[in-house]
């Protein structure tokens, strides 16, 4: 039944390969839990569903991870109900856990600049730099960048069409620095003798002339972060967080940022409205009348 559900998610809901992989992993973890207790899907009720949540918590999973698994299970049982394979959804009454409240990791502008400096010596170093430039310039997901093709580029208008979650297309914008890097990359890329059809279409290719995978991009970013000796961890998603944080700090409307990120819900975007303490202090000092009076006395 799992395979049938995953086919439904792929062909009807058009979920990405990465999302499908996450669903598979989460549901297989659930089936393992059932097997260990000699339970079947039909044996589950709300009480046993709560025991599964407790099991996840004891394993040390974060609230966010547990909520993701619960969402997958609610959807799975709704599917079973729809096709007549299950009466009732044991997870329907299980509430999501309170969010951890952890803010996303982002890089300061000077840290971004540190990663984007350097003179590439060959095509592959140029490609690696381009990956960082595009992740930061567009705010796109790593899966969206990996699946981007040459036909999705509009150099004249400096845009890239990407395919996001739910098979939804959107345009993202390419900044001047990223555009310069991109133009040089495209010139040098022409020298490659690409024989793989998918590689010929792909925007980013690996050394074998095939489309660069999500894992390949992650590995490249890991390597570049280590080489830069940045004193904090950074993943491809960190560049997306940084993009959103910096655009909001520059005064962009949150709904515009929601559109740029491809978020279905505004609440997802609102996590990026955090500001560093210096910025908060600056806003407070400029806006609060008593703060202004104190500054005038001290000045």
290 classed as catalytic: no
- For 82, list phi and psi in degrees, rounded to 5: -65, -35
141 classed as catalytic: yes
- 103: phi > 0 → left, psi -120 to 50 → alpha, else beta; which? beta
With vertex at residue 51, the alpha carbon angle to CA 50 and CA 54, rounded to the nearest 5 degrees, is 90
Closest CA to 1 of 26, 21, 27, 19: 27
CB 14: neighbour CB atoms within 10 A?
Answer: 13
Distance CA 175, CA 140 (A): 13
185 classed as catalytic: no
Catalytic residue among 50, 165, 170, 274: 165
Catalytic residue among 211, 240, 241, 246: 240
Catalytic residue among 68, 170, 237, 274: 237
14 classed as catalytic: no
In the structure encoding, which two tokens stand for residue 147, read together? 């699946």
Distance CA 54, CA 144 (A): 35
Catalytic residue among 141, 211, 241, 246: 141
- The residues annotated as belonging to the active site are 141, 165, 237, 240, 263, 272
């Amino acid at each position: 039944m799992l395979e049938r559900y995953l086919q439904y998610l792929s062909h009807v809901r058009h979920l990405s390969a990465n999302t499908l992989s996450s669903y598979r992993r989460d549901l297989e973890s659930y089936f393992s839990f059932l097997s260990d207790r000699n339970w079947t899907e039909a044996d589950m009720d709300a009480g046993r569903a709560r025991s599964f949540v407790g099991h996840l918590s004891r394993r040390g999973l974060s609230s966010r991870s547990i909520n993701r698994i619960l969402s997958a299970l609610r959807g799975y049982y709704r599917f079973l109900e729809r096709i007549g394979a299950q009466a009732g959804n044991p997870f329907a009454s299980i509430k999501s856990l309170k969010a951890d409240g952890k803010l996303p990791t982002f890089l300061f502008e000077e840290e971004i600049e540190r990663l984007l400096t350097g003179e590439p010596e060959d095509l592959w170093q140029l490609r690696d730099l381009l990956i960082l430039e595009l992740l930061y310039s567009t705010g796109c997901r790593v899966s969206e960048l990996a699946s981007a093709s040459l036909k999705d580029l509009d150099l004249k208008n400096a845009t890239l069409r990407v395919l996001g979650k739910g098979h939804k297309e959107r345009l993202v914008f390419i900044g001047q620095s990223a555009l310069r890097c991109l133009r040089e990359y495209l010139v040098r890329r022409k020298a490659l003798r690409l024989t793989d059809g998918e590689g010929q279409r792909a925007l980013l290719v690996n050394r074998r002339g095939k489309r660069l995978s999500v894992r390949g991009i992650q590995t490249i970013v890991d390597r570049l972060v280590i080489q830069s000796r940045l004193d904090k961890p950074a993943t491809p998603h960190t560049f997306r967080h940084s993009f959103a944080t910096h655009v909001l700090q520059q005064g962009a409307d949150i709904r515009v940022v929601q559109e740029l990120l491809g978020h279905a819900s505004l609440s997802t975007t609102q996590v990026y409205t955090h500001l560093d303490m210096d910025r908060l202090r600056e806003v407070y000092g400029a806006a609060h009348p008593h703060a202004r009076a104190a500054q005038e006395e001290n000045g």
